[in-house]
């Protein structure tokens, strides 16, 4: 039985519609991640669930009960805000314990909760400081702590790690992943960071202009994106796209472009036969290009090293294919010189095709 259901929800500000007819069901104890570019409506959706924005149309059900008429405090929801929203005149401990004090929890219980959560978040030494005496990342952790001390059935997180440095961010991400297993709560987490989305979410919901593009597990979205937007959004460096033209020759279908000719695997052969237009967008992930090393498996491509970038265990090569700039990821052991040409192979099975008009995956 789904725990939280968004039914045809709509949100307009005057004549501007931010969310139009959004439908989403989240199962009990599920960790749902809403991911999408800035301005796509992620915070708006969270704020509607929390009761901080009035729905223009539609209904939100929690445990089968409509809640859109309920005040935020009656929804059994704790939220971590993107802009922290800490009380400036209270120290960290009092900020964290605010909701518990309001609910008249016993003092010992409050102290125990605050201490435990502050420990997890690494902010024990900051408990007596005021928000103005904290860095952005520290404030963000306090904002998270203030929600986590609560007993709510649902936790909403709006980009709770965006102001942390890379190391702390990875550490907190792991803490969150561990914590959610212990907590067994509904969690809805908003981020524009696809790595965060992929590592944390049981269900990832990709939003674009207030519209759900696709939802599923990280693997489903990565391996079988429904359109070019999802394909380009998940994965780093992102999938490469270039223009191509379908051509049939000797009973096989190829996709041709400026400087390449790729035979399509059987699965794609059948699908493109119904295509009206011969124009397609080709998608190949940066990791699908393999240094040939004399191998003749797959399609052979000679590609220029325009700019090699060393990023640690991997190197990313800026190259060109089909008249467009592409990125190729190789092991950083590979010796790379600028302006040389390298021989690559690509397994035809790793080729994606998209309709240039609808951008849907073919």
Ligand X SMILES: Nc1ncnc2c1ncn2[C@@H]1O[C@H](COP(=O)(O)OP(=O)(O)OP(=O)(O)O)[C@@H](O)[C@H]1O
The entry of Mg ion, ligand X, none that residue 16 binds, CB within 5 to 8 Å by partner kind = ligand X
The entry of ligand X, Mg ion, none that residue 315 binds, CB within 5 to 8 Å by partner kind = none
State the greatest distance between any 2 C-alpha atoms of the chain, in Å, as a whole number: 80
Q: Which is nearer to Mg ion, 191 or 227 (CB)?
A: 191
State how far the Cα of 344 lies from the Cα of 350, in Å rounded to an integer: 14
- Position 194 contacts ligand X (CB under 6 A): no
Among 39, 72, 323, 356, binds ligand X (CB under 6 A): 39
Helix (H) or strand (E) holding 23: strand 16-27
- Position 44 contacts ligand X (CB under 6 A): yes
Window 66-95: contact mask with ligand X (x via CB under 6 A): ----------------x-------------
Q: Which stretch binds ligand X (CB under 6 A): 32-40, 261-269, 289-297, 321-329?
A: 32-40
CA-CA-CA-CA torsion sign (45, 50, 56, 60) = positive
Phi then psi for 299, rounded to 5 degrees? -90, 135
State how far the Cα of 305 lies from the Cα of 294, in Å rounded to an integer: 18
- Position 192 contacts ligand X (CB under 6 A): yes
State how far the Cα of 49 lies from the Cα of 75, in Å rounded to an integer: 9
Number of residues that bind ligand X (CB under 6 A): 12
Helix (H) or strand (E) holding 7: strand 2-13
State how far the Cα of 176 lies from the Cα of 147, in Å rounded to an integer: 13
Cβ contact 57:10 at 8 Å: yes
- Position 48 contacts ligand X (CB under 6 A): no
Nearest approach, Cβ of residue 351 and ligand X (Å): 32
Nearest approach, Cβ of residue 183 and Mg ion (Å): 23
Nearest approach, Cβ of residue 355 and Mg ion (Å): 31
- Position 43 contacts Mg ion (CB under 5 A): yes
Window 145-174: contact mask with ligand X (x via CB under 6 A): ------------------------------
Among 1, 15, 38, 250, binds ligand X (CB under 6 A): 38
Q: Which two tokens stand for residue 12?
A: 């307009």
- Give the closest residue to 158 by CA, choosing from 87, 93, 85: 85
- Position 285 contacts ligand X (CB under 6 A): no
Cβ contact 300:342 at 8 Å: no
Please report, as ranges, the residues that interact with ligand X according to CB under 6 A. Answer: 13, 16, 18, 38-44, 82, 192
Please report, as ranges, the residues that interact with Mg ion according to CB under 5 A. Answer: 43, 82
């Amino acid at each position: 039985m789904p725990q939280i259901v968004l039914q045809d929800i709509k949100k307009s500000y005057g004549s501007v519609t931010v969310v139009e007819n959004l439908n989403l069901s989240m199962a009990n104890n599920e960790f749902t991640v809403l991911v999408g570019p800035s301005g796509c409506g992620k915070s708006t959706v969270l704020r509607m669930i929390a009761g901080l924005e009035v729905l223009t149309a539609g209904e939100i059900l929690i445990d089968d009960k409509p809640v859109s008429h309920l005040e935020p405090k009656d929804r059994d929801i704790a939220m971590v805000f993107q802009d922290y929203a800490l009380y400036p005149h209270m120290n960290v401990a009092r900020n964290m314990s605010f909701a518990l004090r309001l609910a008249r929890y016993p003092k010992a219980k409050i102290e125990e909760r605050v201490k435990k959560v502050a420990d997890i978040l690494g902010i024990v030494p900051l408990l007596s400081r005021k928000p103005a005496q904290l860095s952005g990342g520290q404030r963000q952790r306090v904002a998270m702590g203030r929600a986590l001390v609560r007993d709510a059935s649902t936790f909403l997180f709006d980009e709770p790690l965006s102001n942390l440095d890379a190391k702390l961010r990875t550490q907190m991400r792991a803490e969150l992943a561990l914590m959610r297993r212990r907590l067994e709560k509904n969690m809805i987490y908003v981020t524009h960071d696809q790595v965060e989305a992929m590592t944390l979410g049981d269900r990832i919901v990709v939003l674009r202009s207030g519209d759900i593009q696709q939802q599923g597990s990280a693997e489903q979205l990565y391996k079988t994106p429904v359109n070019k937007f999802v394909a380009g959004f998940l994965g780093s460096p992102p999938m490469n796209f270039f223009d191509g033209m379908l051509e049939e020759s000797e009973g096989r279908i190829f996709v041709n472009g400026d400087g390449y000719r790729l035979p399509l695997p059987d699965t794609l052969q059948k699908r493109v036969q119904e295509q009206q237009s011969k124009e397609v967008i080709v998608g190949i992930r940066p990791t699908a290009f393999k240094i040939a090393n004399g191998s003749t498996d797959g399609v052979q491509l000679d590609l220029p090293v325009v700019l090699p970038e060393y990023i640690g265990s991997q190197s990313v090569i800026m190259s060109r294919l089909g008249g467009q700039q592409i990125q190729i990821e190789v092991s950083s052991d590979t010796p790379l010189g600028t302006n040389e040409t390298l021989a690559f192979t690509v397994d035809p099975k790793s080729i994606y095709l998209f309709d240039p008009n609808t951008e849907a995956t073919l």
